[in-house]
Structure 1
């Protein structure tokens, strides 16, 4: 089974004045750490809620020109046995590149295989086999053309 895993990361950012600036720097910093190895990981602003009133608050907490930004990192994990297996793979892959940044798995969603995609794959396989057959015929024609061209070339060399 394939799963879509969402991991929350707490990214520290220094020398910032606003939460917008902190979020932009955190996304850039995280992107640099993940790329080029994990360029398929999507980076989004995290959503935080006030623990007392449940109201949505900004993803960056700023104190003394330093910020802690909540980011959500999404990746697809293929061929896993269980949700826990997908979570461990995602945390390991992302955690290896984001040193000293705490991670927490927020959501694991199983991706259902589409029947349309499998029928499209079968159709593309049929087209590919037809293309291979026409390529074989074309290479036989090219071989006979080569025989005609080569003697002329050899005659030019002899002169």
Structure 2
């Protein structure tokens, strides 16, 4: 079975002035560590909620240093269980991110990706997913072929 694993990484960055600069530096730092071997890992800033429901930004800056929360998402193929998928993802990602702690956020089945806009535009809007014509178009075809 294939599983999508999302891990949270706590990435320290230095010499930054703003949270946005910290997020950019953290994504760059992690991206350099993972590429080219793990270029298929998606890296996103992680937003969290406080107990009161307020948004907590992904970066906290103090004295030019920041700690940035990032989500690292990857698909692990042919695993026996969710725990097996997490161990593989933590091992693959963690071995390239020395000194950065990783924590499980979620793990679940790989769902089919929705078709992108380009594919949707090039597909035949008069057809069902199985390729047959929709009923109203079938009637029009029958009327015009008689």
TM-score, normalised relative to structure 1: 0.68
Structure 1 unaligned residues grouped into runs of 5+: 115-159
**Aligned position for 2:34:** 34
CA shift, 1:105, in A, is 0.8
1:64 aligned residue: 63
1:19 CA displacement:
0.3
More helix by share: 1
Q: Which of these two proteins has the greater Rg computed from alpha carbons?
A: 1
Mark the runs of 5 or more structure 2 residues left unpaired by the alignment.
114-146
Number of aligned positions between the proteins? 113
Using the alignment, how far apart are the partners of 1:96 and 1:82 within structure 2? 21
Aligned equivalents of 2:52, 2:112: Cα separation in 1 = 40
Q: TM-score, normalised by structure 2?
A: 0.74
Where 2:78 maps in the other structure, the secondary structure is coil
- What is residue 83 of structure 2 aligned with on the other side? 84
Distance 2:63 2:104 in 1: 29
Corresponding residue for 1:73?
A: 72
**Which stretches of structure 1, 4 residues or more, deviate above 6 A after TM superposition?**
none
